[in-house]
Amino acid sequence: MGIVKEFKEFAVKGNMLDMAVGIIIGGAFGKIITSLVNDVLMPPLGLLLGKVDFSSLKAILQKGSDAVMDGAVVVQPAVSEVSINYGIFLNNIIDFLIVALCIFFVIKGMNTLKKKEEAAPETPPPPSEEAVLLKEIRDLLKK
């Protein structure tokens, strides 16, 4: 029963919930970035580079062919095309770079805020009762 209890403590901890929320938001953020790359950035970039759709770029290793039929009988089955889809790979690289850049700026901003908090001068603590009494005595002696 010790393992069940440990797992229960682990699953209920706040860190686990924070991690789950982070993963869900990260997945949604990834979809937004993918849409940004595929739907906003790549079309103008492809237009600038000669009306190229990056997702359709590929190196064909073996051309595909349709099935050859003799009435209802298949004489030769269809052959699928074998290709290296490097255009999709380029889209994914651009995706990654944009996500990495966004994360970099978020962390940079957080670090800047953290440094400002650390650099903020702390107000000195109020003087102790002894120090206040000594100042009063000093002032009375001066008079």
Q: Which of 63-67, 70-74, 101-105, 119-123 has the lowest mean pLDDT?
A: 119-123
pLDDT tens-digit map of 96-143: 888 788 778 878 888 888 887 777 667 778 888 888 888 889 988 888
Structural domain boundaries in the chain: 2-142
Cα–Cα separations (whole angstroms), residue 86 to 32, 49, 62, 83, 90: 22, 16, 15, 9, 6
Q: Counting runs of H as helices and runs of E as strands, what totals does the chain give?
A: 5, 4
Q: How many Å apart are CA 138 and CA 135, to the nearest integer?
A: 5
Residue 14 — pLDDT band, cuts 50, 70, 90?
A: low
Q: Is CATH 1.10.10.10 the right assignment for the domain spanning 2-142?
A: no
Whole-model pTM: value is 0.51
pLDDT tens-digit map of 29-39: 888 887 887 78
> Closest Cα to residue 90, out of 57, 47, 61?
57
DSSP 8-state class, residue 69: E
For the beta carbon of residue 43, count every other beta carbon within 10 angstroms.
13
DSSP 8-state class, residue 58: -
pLDDT recorded at residue 1? 65
